[in-house]
């Protein structure tokens, strides 16, 4: 019994220590907060040269952009062996950059030899990780504040969400051509409560952005509306190179975000051949650029999306930084609309 009690105390102490050292995020003195989004790195066992190239590019993106936060929106590791080794290699690289970062899981991350809980433990052990472990032992869905440049109050909030994984081929859902899971009722309920609590805490609705891996069905809907004469406000920029890997089930997550009035941008990954940004009812739906060099499909140059928020305003700038150093799709947005 004493050993069990001591183990519990040690675990609590470790959790508290991890929480206590979570990096504080804040705008810089110029009133800007820059996020570098990496997605779909797909580090694959047996492809060491590709993995080394990807990790080298990550360091170059950070060197060129000097972000305040690195957002990794899923599929860090992919099929193959030695996924634990590859995850550790990535975490060692990104933590050594001494910049706060977070990871949200993709559909492939959790298909490897490590469980989500095991990966969460390794991620949160990193000195610069913003992530925390939830009650289920996995990475928690989070509301993360970004302080004003002087650290006085919250000026922006970031929502980190787990969009889950692929549907098993043996599942009856697969027979219905449903390939990917969707946000659960509990997650939609949670984020609605977080929106409400945030408004109560701050006495106003703060600008916010959401990050996850698998795109919402509204990404496809918004793109298709760009060709409609009735939706001329749907500014769009970038490439749509595939139909869309979103879930066919609409969880109501977008409606929750729209009703709250705080979300100005949603950033995801997953579709390697898409990097577009489109307005949908005042919310910018944004694909990151596939950042990896693995042997899976991608016809766009590997890159990273950059999004730079502005303190006290529902405005941001965004662009793509490619592996060759080129910058493309440089635009400013206000309330989801291209300025």
What sign has the CA pseudo-torsion 220, 225, 226, 227? Answer: positive
Chain-wide mean pLDDT for the chain? 85
What mean pLDDT comes out for the span 292-320?
Answer: 90
For residue 241, pLDDT over 60 is answered with: yes
Looking at residue 274, its pLDDT comes to 86
Looking at residue 318, its pLDDT comes to 96
Considering only the C-alpha atoms of the chain, give the largest distance between any 2 of them, rounded to a whole number of Å.
71
DSSP 46: T
Cβ atoms 209, 155 nearer than 8 A: no
Nearest alpha-carbon partner for 211 in 278, 138, 289, 269: 269
Looking at residue 19, its pLDDT comes to 43
Please state, in angstroms and rounded to a whole number, the distance separating the CA atoms of residues 184 and 39.
23
Tokens representing residue 102 in the block: 């977070």
Residue with tokens 């509301």: 143
For residue 18, pLDDT over 50 is answered with: no
For residue 200, pLDDT over 80 is answered with: yes
For residue 46, pLDDT over 90 is answered with: no
For residue 327, pLDDT over 70 is answered with: yes
pLDDT digits (tens, 9 = 90+) for 19-41: 446 789 999 999 999 999 999 99
For residue 265, pLDDT over 60 is answered with: yes
pLDDT band, residue 239 (cuts 50/70/90): confident
Looking at residue 13, its pLDDT comes to 42
Comparing 169 with 185, the larger pLDDT belongs to 185
Looking at the DSSP bridge assignments, the partners of residue 37 are 71, 305
């Amino acid at each position: 019994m004493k050993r069990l009690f001591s183990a519990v105390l040690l675990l609590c102490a470790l959790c508290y220590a991890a929480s206590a050292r979570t990096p504080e995020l804040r705008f810089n003195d110029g009133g800007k907060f820059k996020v570098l989004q990496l997605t779909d790195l797909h580090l694959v066992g047996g492809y060491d040269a590709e993995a080394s190239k990807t990790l080298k590019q990550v360091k170059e993106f950070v060197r060129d952009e000097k972000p305040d936060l690195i957002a990794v929106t899923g599929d860090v590791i992919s099929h193959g062996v030695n996924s634990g080794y590859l995850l550790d290699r990535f975490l060692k690289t990104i933590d050594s950059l001494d910049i706060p970062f977070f990871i949200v899981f993709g559909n492939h991350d959790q298909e490897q030899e490590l469980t989500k809980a095991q990966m969460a433990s390794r991620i949160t052990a990193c000195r610069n990780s913003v992530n925390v472990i939830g009650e289920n032992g996995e990475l928690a869905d989070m509301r993360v504040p970004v302080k004003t440049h002087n650290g006085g109050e919250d000026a922006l909030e970031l929502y980190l969400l787990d969009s889950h994984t692929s549907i098993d081929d043996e599942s009856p859902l697969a027979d219905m051509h449903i390939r990917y899971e969707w946000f659960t009722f509990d997650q939609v309920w949670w984020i609605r409560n977080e929106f409400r609590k945030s408004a109560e805490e701050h006495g106003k609705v703060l600008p916010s952005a959401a990050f996850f891996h698998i795109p919402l069905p509204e990404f496809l809907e918004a793109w298709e509306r760009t060709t409609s004469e009735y939706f001329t406000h749907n500014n769009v920029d970038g490439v749509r190179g595939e139909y869309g890997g979103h879930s066919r089930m609409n969880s109501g997550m977008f409606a929750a975000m729209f009703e709250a009035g705080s979300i100005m941008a949603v950033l995801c990954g997953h579709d390697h051949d898409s990097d577009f940004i489109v307005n949908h009812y005042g919310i910018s739906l944004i694909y990151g650029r596939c950042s990896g060099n693995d042997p899976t499909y991608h016809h766009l140059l590997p890159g990273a999306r950059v999004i730079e928020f502005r303190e006290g305003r529902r405005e941001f700038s965004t662009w793509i930084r490619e592996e060759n150093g080129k910058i493309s799709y440089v635009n400013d947005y206000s309330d989801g609309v291209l300025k």
